Amino acid sequence: MRIDSHLHLWSPARGDYGWLTPDLPICREITLDEARRTATGIDAVILVQAAPTEAETRFLLDIAARAGGFVRAVVGWTDLAADDAPARIAALAGDPRLAGLRPMLQDIADPDWILRPEIEPALAAMERAGLVLDLLVRPAHLPRCGELARRHPGLAMVLDHAAKPAIAEHGHAAWAEALRRLAADTAIACKLSGLITEAAPGAGFDALAPYVRTVFDAFGADRILWGSDWPVLTLAASYDAWRGAAEALTGVMAPDAVDAVFGGNAARIYRG
C-alpha cells in the first residue's frame, strides 16, 4: 500500500490560514478531487493541518469522512496551552479519523514553548488518546524535541520535513549532528518531506542527496515516512517528480525499504 504521509487541503475563503498570502500561487482552493488526480498511484493520504484552528481540523475531518478511504487519517490542531485542552483533545479523538495533532512550533517565538509546564496536561491527554504529535520545527528545536521525548516516552512523535534543514544555505553539518543525536536517543520517526522547498530555487533533487542520506543513516528505514507536502511542494517541484526522486534516493539508500517508507510506516504509526 502506498501512503502519502503529508498532504494538505485548504480553502482560503475560510479565513484562518494566516501564512497563505495572496502573492503565493497556492493561495487558492485545494480540493480532494484535485489531490486524487495529482497523487496517481497513491492508495491513501494523511491530511495535515495548515491553520491553527479547531475549525480547520473539523473541516479536514469532514473531508475525510466523505473520502471513501482515500484519506486514511487527519493530523489536526488544538490549543495545547488551553485550560480545557485535555477535554478538547478527548472530544476530537472521538473521531476515529483523527490520528494526531500538530502545534505549529516553527511559528511560536519561544523555542521552549512545547516544554512549558502548562502544556503537560495536553500531552498526557494525547498519549491517553493514542494520538501522534507531529513536530513542525526547525533545526534549533531538535534538542527540545529530544527533551520532550525523554519526558513523554509513551507519546508517539513524528518529525515533519526532517526539521527543515537550511539546504539553500548549505546548513548540513550542525543539523546532521543534532538529527543523529535525536534519532539515537529517542523513538521519534521522521518524514522524508518538505526538503526541496528548503533548497535554493532551481537547485534540483541532487542537492537533497546528502540530507536524505543523513535521514536514512540516522533513523533507518523503519522510522522514515515519505510525504509530498503537496501543494506546498509545487512551489519547487511537481508531485510526480518528487515521488520519483524520493523512490530513487530510497532505493540507493536502502533497497528493501521502499514498502516501509512509502506506506508501511505511515500505516503503523497513524492509527494503523
CB of 28 closer than 8 Å to CB of 12: yes
What is the helix (H) or strand (E) element at residue 98, kind and residue range? strand 98-101
What is the pTM for the complete model shown? Answer: 0.96
Q: Which of 145, 148, 155, 166 is nearest to 124 (CA)?
A: 155
139-196 pLDDT, tens digit per residue, is 999 999 999 999 999 999 999 999 999 999 999 999 999 999 999 999 999 999 999 9
Please give the pLDDT value at position 250: 85
Hey, what amino acid is at 95? D
Q: What mean pLDDT comes out for the span 228-235?
A: 98
46-90 pLDDT, tens digit per residue, is 999 999 999 999 999 999 999 999 999 999 999 999 999 999 999
Q: Is the peptide bond before 12 cis (omega within 30 degrees of 0)?
A: no
Q: Which of 188, 185, 186 is nearest to 162 (CA)?
A: 188
pLDDT, averaged across the chain: 96
Helix, strand, coil shares, percent, the chain, to 5: 50, 15, 35
Q: Which domains does the chain have, with CATH numbers?
A: 3-271 (3.20.20.140)
Please give the pLDDT value at position 255: 76
pLDDT above 90 coverage of the chain, percent: 95
What are the cell numbers at 30? Answer: 485545494
Q: How far apart are CA 264 and CA 60, in angstroms?
A: 23
Sign of the Cα torsion 59, 190, 36, 245 reads positive
Q: How far apart are CA 92 and CA 160, in angstroms?
A: 21
